[in-house]
């Protein structure tokens, strides 16, 4: 039987991922979006947990179906209102931060003003080091 030759393997081509540079504004917006998503997921989990507890009480006969549905709707509505308030506060924070970033760019920094008015600097005179006398 002839020996089977293994196909010659070429090394895989490794592509360098593109470097994406984000502006401070994009970073802030991305941060806010991820916080919004995280909070909405948290709220959805809380609503599901609450609904499960209510369903359990209905199954045990501690609540009737109509009462349970009203409680679920009320809790969901309160969570939606809370999410809306939180998102609104986040929007306000984002606007303030963006305004702050833009104003920092518009104002020349104090360091640059110092370079505009360079003064002649007197040369530094070297101090002679005094030798200490060592007693023998």
Residue 57 CA from chain centroid, whole number: 40
- Which regions of the chain are under pLDDT 50? 118
Q: What is the pLDDT of residue 57?
A: 93
In a domain, 80, yes or no: yes
Q: What is the pLDDT of residue 100?
A: 86
In a domain, 15, yes or no: no
Question: What would the DSSP string read from start to end of 24-55?
Answer: HHHHHHHHHHHHHHHHHHHHHHHHHHHHHHHH
Q: 0.85 cut: is pTM over it?
A: no
Spatial CB neighbours of 55, under 8 Å, sequence gap ≥ 6: 68
Structural domain harbouring 89? 24-104
Number of domains the chain contains: 1
């Amino acid at each position: 039987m002839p020996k089977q030759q293994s196909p010659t393997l070429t090394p895989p081509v490794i592509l360098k991922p593109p470097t994406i540079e984000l502006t401070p504004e994009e970073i802030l917006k991305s941060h806010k979006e991820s916080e919004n998503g995280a909070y909405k997921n948290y709220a959805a989990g809380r609503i599901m947990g609450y609904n499960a507890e209510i369903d359990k009480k209905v199954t045990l006969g501690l609540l009737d179906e109509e009462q349970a549905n009203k409680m679920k709707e009320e809790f969901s509505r309160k969570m939606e209102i809370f999410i809306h308030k939180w998102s609104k506060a986040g929007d306000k924070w984002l606007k303030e931060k963006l305004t702050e970033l833009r104003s920092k760019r518009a104002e020349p920094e104090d360091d640059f003003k110092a370079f505009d008015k360079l003064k002649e600097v007197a040369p530094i005179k070297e101090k002679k080091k005094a030798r200490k006398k060592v007693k023998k």
